[in-house]
Structure 1
Amino acid sequence: MVIPDRAKAEHYLRHVSYYRLRAYWLPFEQAAAVNGDHRFKAGTSIEDAIALYVFDRQLRLLVMDAVERIEVSLRGGWAYHLAVKYGPHGYLDPNIYDRPHHYAKALASLLDEIERSKDTFIIHYNQKYDDPEQPPVWMAAEVMSLGQLSKWLGNLKFRADRQAIARPYGLDEKVLVSLAHHLTYVRNICAHHGRLWNKQFTVTMTIPNAPGALKLAMNPEATRRLYNTLATIGYLIGIVAPGSEWRKHLMSLVASCPLADLAAMGFPAKWQTLPAWQVSKTQSDSPLG
């Protein structure tokens, strides 16, 4: 491995660590002739691994930004539907959930979150009200993690409820439920600074059959890779933050790092020409970014 700037290399090895950085030079290694040996392809520089590391970090930040917006939207959609149909505290009715054991675990987890919460609105509710003891659904939604929310959403007994929550996104409820679980998994990778760009996922999402532009954008040959996630996030951002240039930022980031193997990320050939990635030239950033 070529090390053109020793001071820079020492800085990254000290502040990123050898073990973490090593994951980013694995693509530049040749197959070992002897088990346990490591040999780099000719001309490999530590700068290549650093470039991939920086790209992956920027990618995680971009994905986290989008998942945050989608999570907030899902919270609001879940709370709004249940409040309108079942009342402010109807979300606590075990009869609207499919699996009692899952409901009991989700409720226990939620009660723990409420107990630990220092949010002003929770403190105010506890001081002013004791019947019902638990806060209304729109408050409960605010203290839920995305993982908790995905379990409450997925356990709703009636398909009509799940479909009503999914409808504003133009997705089937099965797709939305699987996506909520999947985005929880992806968010946790990002939050714990894990490698994302060429990750092979263990928690996948259901490939949507609609809308047409999103269906065409999917790569069914790479369901465990990142590309389908990015395409779906881009579609949802167009709904929850229509003025955002998130897709444009993603495309620029991908173009900025030729070392990032698009095939390892699951990108299909000529993906930029697909309708889902056609970004209007007149589109500009909204205050939401």
Structure 2
Amino acid sequence: MTKAFGLSGAVLASWLHGFNFVRNIAAHHARLWNSAIAVPVTIPKTLSNLSRLDNRRPFLYFCLIQFIIKQSEKERLALPPCNWGEKFKNLPAIFLHIANQAVTLSDMGCIADWGKWDLRQ
């Protein structure tokens, strides 16, 4: 499995542990958008563009999920093709209409130009 994703076993294990933590926050109806993720993941040098993201914020984990989805499609693993990344890009327009800016994308760990990122990579 690590070969299909181009990751070492240790890196993939750290990602799976992080995904499990994020899943538990969401499954137990806690606030995910501004949660401090207590399980740091390892970012390989091949994905150095992700190193500028905060390892304690959900946005990094969403990018990692998208990476796994796209690698799965590329390697023709069991996942059917999906447009999760495009749907994710549309979420702020749907949910962040808060006049007082009490909830911001930066709380989630998004960087200023995140909308220009190709989350399919």
Compute the TM-score of the two structures, normalised by the length of structure 1: 0.35
Find out whether 1:230 has 2:73 as its counterpart.
no
Count of residues paired in the alignment: 110
8 Å Cα contact 2:66-2:85 kept in structure 1: yes
- 3-state SS, counterpart of residue 202 of structure 1: coil
Say which of 155, 169, 184 aligns to 2:20.
Answer: 184
8 Å Cα contact 1:219-1:266 kept in structure 2: no
Find out whether 1:215 has 2:58 as its counterpart.
no
Partner of 2:29: 193
Offset at residue 228 of structure 1 (A): 0.7
Please list every run of at least 4 consecutive aligned residues from structure 1 whose deviation after the TM superposition is greater than 3 angstroms: none
Partner of 2:105: 262
1:17-28 equivalent positions in 2, closer than 5 A? none
Higher RCO, 1 or 2 (CA under 8 Å, sep at least 6)?
2
Look up the equivalent residue of 2:69 and give its one-letter code: I
- For residues 234-265 of structure 1, give each alpha carbon's deviation from its aligned partner in whole angstroms, at most 9, with x where no partner exists: 11111333610111111111222234411111
Q: Using the aligned pairs only, state the percent identity.
A: 32
- Shift in alpha-carbon separation, 1:272–1:215, aligned structure 2, 3 A: farther
Compute the TM-score of the two structures, normalised by the length of structure 2: 0.78
Q: Which runs of 5+ in 2 are unaligned?
A: 73-78
Say which of 28, 32, 39 aligns to 1:203.
Answer: 39
Look up the equivalent residue of 1:237 and give its one-letter code: I
Look up the equivalent residue of 1:227 and give its one-letter code: F
Greater per-residue helix proportion: 1
CA distance in 2 between counterparts of 1:227 and 1:248 reads 14
CA distance in 2 between counterparts of 1:186 and 1:249 reads 19
CA distance in 2 between counterparts of 1:236 and 1:221 reads 17
Q: Which runs of 5+ in 1 are unaligned?
A: 1-164, 280-289
8 Å Cα contact 1:204-1:223 kept in structure 2: yes
